[in-house]
Amino acid sequence: IEGKFVRQTGGRGQFGHVYIDLEPNEPGGGYAFESKIVGGSIPKEYIPAVDQGIREALDGGVVAGYPMVDIKVRLVDGSYHDVDSSEMAFKIAGSMAFKEAARRASPTLLEPMMAVEVVAPTEFVGTVVGDLNRRRGRIAGTEPRPGGVEVITASVPLSEMFGYATSVRSATQGRATFTMQFENYMEVPSSIAQEIKEKTGAASD
């Protein structure tokens, strides 16, 4: 995908021109940038600026303004001008190329999933499981423990866990405890993704 930034406003202009390839990275792999430039089509001092422009575009996202994750970018070609090229011009060109490539790639909204572990008396397990299911949780299993309690493990969207401490205490007469930690990102269900896009004015993206 091409990104080209040219501006002439009297005196010195601005010129940055890049071609990039874009592909998904493995889940949890984050952002990876690689330069395949050979032969000096882009001077090496401008390549970090391309990377920086892409990073800033990642943070701004292309769907509903949310940051993008797990993406590989390769800088494969480009051109420069002896006088008009600058780090800023290549930073903007990198950002432009990435935004266009990301739009064409049909990106999806992801949400953070939490690994949740609830310890509750056996008589409340059904209540706890039902509540986690209503929060779009996926139950991984339940395991009996000594003392008449069970451990319920589940994967639950972070957005559904707000207020959970109060809820689980109320549902178990204050006898349950829970922990949660970040697990991974998962695709947001299409109906919920559409609601988010409509709320942020991004439904047409």
C-alpha–C-alpha distance, residues 154 and 195, integer Å: 25
C-alpha–C-alpha distance, residues 80 and 59, integer Å: 26
- The pLDDT-based confidence of 153 (bands split at 50, 70, 90) is very high
- The pLDDT-based confidence of 204 (bands split at 50, 70, 90) is very low
Fold that domain 2-104 belongs to in CATH = Ribosomal Protein S5; domain 2 (3.30.230)
C-alpha–C-alpha distance, residues 6 and 123, integer Å: 69
Give me the pLDDT at residue 8, please: 62
The answer to whether residue 86 scores a pLDDT higher than 60 is yes
Give me the pLDDT at residue 87, please: 93
- The domain ranges of the chain are 2-104, 110-187
C-alpha–C-alpha distance, residues 46 and 172, integer Å: 60
Does domain 110-187 correspond to CATH entry 3.40.50.1220?
A: no
C-alpha–C-alpha distance, residues 190 and 37, integer Å: 39
Cα 66 to Cα 69, 107, 184: the distances in Å are: 10, 11, 16
- 57-71: average pLDDT: 83
- Confidence (pTM): 0.69
> In a 10 Å sphere around its CB, with 0-12 CB exposed, 13-18 middle and 19+ buried, how is residue 62 labelled?
buried
Give me the pLDDT at residue 200, please: 65
The answer to whether residue 166 scores a pLDDT higher than 90 is yes
